Chains A and B, each alone.
Chain A
């Protein structure tokens, strides 16, 4: 067989330099006739920390190389392909020998991500080889009814993966029960949650699975038109979706008598979002598709009764849809054997922040946070100390070390005050200030609030002002209580999920890290050394060489001292900008 060389070209791979790696490989292939290789591209396999990834499959087995820049690309071609000697030190995964990265892969169960990184996402043939459209064909050939499909999805126990956790089968049942000539199914690909990117990976890596999930959903509820609402920040995902849609139309999976099922007419188009976090909310998303400002409206009527253009509409998240073909093809038992009593199946998490091995992991529900962060993710970067993990983005909360053994399922996570959300897991070490983090999220929700509900519009702004005051060292007694009072009111009096959950980051940090707030307010101290107005900069006399660099960089001339003399910072003039610390080459500025 010809040796296959496959380069991971998801957005993250490209950001890490996969384009250059690919160009080098292609260049070498054309100039060197001895190199008889088949070069191709795939998407993200989830090991983002080891990008750019190059996979080599030859007669002896399978080898995944990590961190392959241009130089290493030459090296592995020379050694592995030409001289049949794999460069073991770069291999992160292989079926021939154990590697240090096995722990990252072995705890995972890939259902939603089953094809990501294993095929060329722009090739329908490769997708078909990996069972694309087999589930909808099975429905057609077995003559399964809409009720039969809905029963399978109900039995599988799958709940909406976008964050709400509403049972998908039930949602379909409601939409199915609505009577109308026109019905819509919408794929919510407006992944706005900062810190989560599983939807992007799925759209880029396996677009046909999303299309098939929508086709099955359309068949189950009786929809004739599908819309994928994808955020504009994901140009590669939009490109690959459009390629996949054209391929699916040509092959008859979409269109009249779609997928060979008589009288089932269904087509899909991609609608580009325009950048508004609130459009992840169902009714705001519908308003946006209709060309209006994305503002949520009161429910009922629920979209299942009256949604897009006032027709019954069903909205599912990307990851939910990616699971659907697998469930139909392999039966609900193949899915609900994973997970806990109330949260079935697997969930994809985006492991990011101060973690050693950041990337996408898909694990059975019920695995503990500790297992995910330490066994799979390898623990904290630079051997730092774990402080908290943030789950659920701006709507979620921070979970402290004492709760690391919480199993990850919808209900257990909710009981901590955080939410499962779309699965963003941002790990933080001691260098993160929790008050600053709460301020970060409030700043986000305050900007993204659509402005419809007074409590969300004004309340988040007031909360942000208080948090800014605290991190500026101007916090006063009563601020914490005021934050709590405002939080309660915003939660109670907002129409949509954005407002109802906006105070969560503040409430959870107050619950688990209250002492940090108190430290900021009463002692004017920031333990993590993040809030600059609370820091004091002094010169360590023994380390200072008198190079005068800091004095020259200081914007307010607070530093005195001549050449080769120990410098001195005048605390009355210092504005705590940190420029001296950034400039010093001898670590002689002490920050306390």
Chain B
């Protein structure tokens, strides 16, 4: 289900102090427009990489949106994150075609390589590992995406090589 009914852990974890004035322009742009909730959250996430707790309060106060509505939307859609993520988000595709071509082994290899579990962020803050439903490059399965770059026909070794390359460049 898209929302866990019972929240067992604190929702917001180790959030750094963010400069909230960065979202003034976003609020200005969308204030009062109908259907603005999702675009506001998307723009805020573009700025910080996640949705800071304090940003919710600010948007609520200044754009007049209800906190409950925002929280409902932010937890419903897969795109939104409530906690900071690594500089590079490694999305491993687990669509049907990738599943059939052993995407699980790819995730395992990346977990070993990065020393984190699926969904976690490395200590140096460079990488976050995520599983996603389908990246739409099915004929090159298994596939992963780092930033806006997609890599196809992978195995554990090839993926580790790419991680090394990305590390070198960041």
Q: Looking at the complex, which of B13-21, B36-44, B54-62, B82-90 is the stretch in contact with chain A?
A: B36-44
The residue of chain A having its C-beta at the shortest distance from the C-beta of B150 within the complex is: A15
A272-B42 in contact (CB<8A):
yes
- Total number of A residues with any Cβ neighbor in B under 8 Å: 59
The residue of chain A having its C-beta at the shortest distance from the C-beta of B36 within the complex is: A291
How far is it, in angstroms, between the C-alpha of A49 and the C-alpha of B139 when the chains are bound? 6
Knowing A274-B42, A354-B100, A451-B2, say if A232 contacts B137 (CB, 8 Å): no
Q: Which residues of A contact B49 (CB under 8 A)?
A: none
Task: Report which of A352, A444, A451 forms a contact with B141, defined as CB distance below 8 A.
Answer: A352
B3-A451 in contact (CB<8A):
yes
A293-B133 in contact (CB<8A):
no
A216 in the interface (beta carbon within 8 A): no
How far is it, in angstroms, between the C-alpha of A352 and the C-alpha of B143 when the chains are bound? 13
B152-A12 in contact (CB<8A):
yes
A291-B150 in contact (CB<8A):
no
Q: Which residues of A contact B80 (CB under 8 A)?
A: 274
Distance from A105 Cβ to chain B, minimum over Cβ atoms (Å): 15
Task: Report which of A196, A292, A444 forms a contact with B138, defined as CB distance below 8 A.
Answer: A196
Knowing A15-B151, A292-B37, A293-B72, say if A195 contacts B97 (CB, 8 Å): yes
Q: Which residues of B contact A194 (CB under 8 A)?
A: 94-97, 99, 133-134
Knowing A393-B96, A448-B2, say if A12 contacts B37 (CB, 8 Å): no
Q: Which residues of B contact A344 (CB under 8 A)?
A: none
A358-B138 in contact (CB<8A):
yes
The residue of chain A having its C-beta at the shortest distance from the C-beta of B77 within the complex is: A274
How far is it, in angstroms, between the C-alpha of A274 and the C-alpha of B94 when the chains are bound? 18
Q: Which residues of A contact B132 (CB under 8 A)?
A: 233
The residue of chain B having its C-beta at the shortest distance from the C-beta of A351 within the complex is: B139
A264 in the interface (beta carbon within 8 A): no
Q: Which residues of B contact A289 (CB under 8 A)?
A: 35
B150-A11 in contact (CB<8A):
yes
Knowing A12-B139, A293-B76, say if A432 contacts B100 (CB, 8 Å): yes
A461 in the interface (beta carbon within 8 A): yes
B153 in the interface (beta carbon within 8 A): yes
- Total number of B residues with any Cβ neighbor in A under 8 Å: 43
A117 in the interface (beta carbon within 8 A): no
Q: Which residues of A contact B1 (CB under 8 A)?
A: 446-447, 449-451, 457, 461
Task: Report which of B77, B96, B99, B135 forms a contact with A424, defined as CB distance below 8 A.
Answer: B96
Q: Which residues of A contact B76 (CB under 8 A)?
A: 276, 293-294, 450
Distance from A589 Cβ to chain B, minimum over Cβ atoms (Å): 16
B32 in the interface (beta carbon within 8 A): no
The residue of chain A having its C-beta at the shortest distance from the C-beta of B69 within the complex is: A292
Residue-wise interface mask of B (43-85) relative to A, using a CB-CB cutoff of 8 A (1 in contact, 0 not): 0000000000000000000000000010011001111100000
Given A194-B96, A196-B136, 10 more pairs with CB closer than 8 A: A12-B140, A15-B152, A192-B134, A274-B73, A275-B77, A276-B78, A352-B100, A352-B138, A447-B2, A448-B133
What 8 pairs across the A-B complex have the smallest Cβ distances? A194-B95, A358-B139, A275-B78, A48-B139, A274-B77, A291-B37, A195-B96, A194-B134
Contact surface of B with A, Cβ cutoff 8 Å: 1-3, 34-39, 41-42, 69, 72-73, 76-80, 94-97, 99-101, 132-141, 143, 148-153
Can you name 19 A-B pairs with beta carbons within 8 Å? A48-B140, A194-B133, A194-B134, A195-B138, A196-B136, A197-B134, A290-B35, A291-B39, A292-B73, A293-B76, A293-B77, A353-B97, A437-B100, A440-B99, A441-B96, A446-B1, A447-B2, A448-B133, A449-B2
Contact surface of A with B, Cβ cutoff 8 Å: 11-12, 14-16, 48-49, 51, 191-197, 200, 232-235, 272, 274-278, 288-294, 309, 350-354, 358-359, 390, 393, 424, 426, 428, 432, 437, 440-441, 444, 446-451, 457, 461
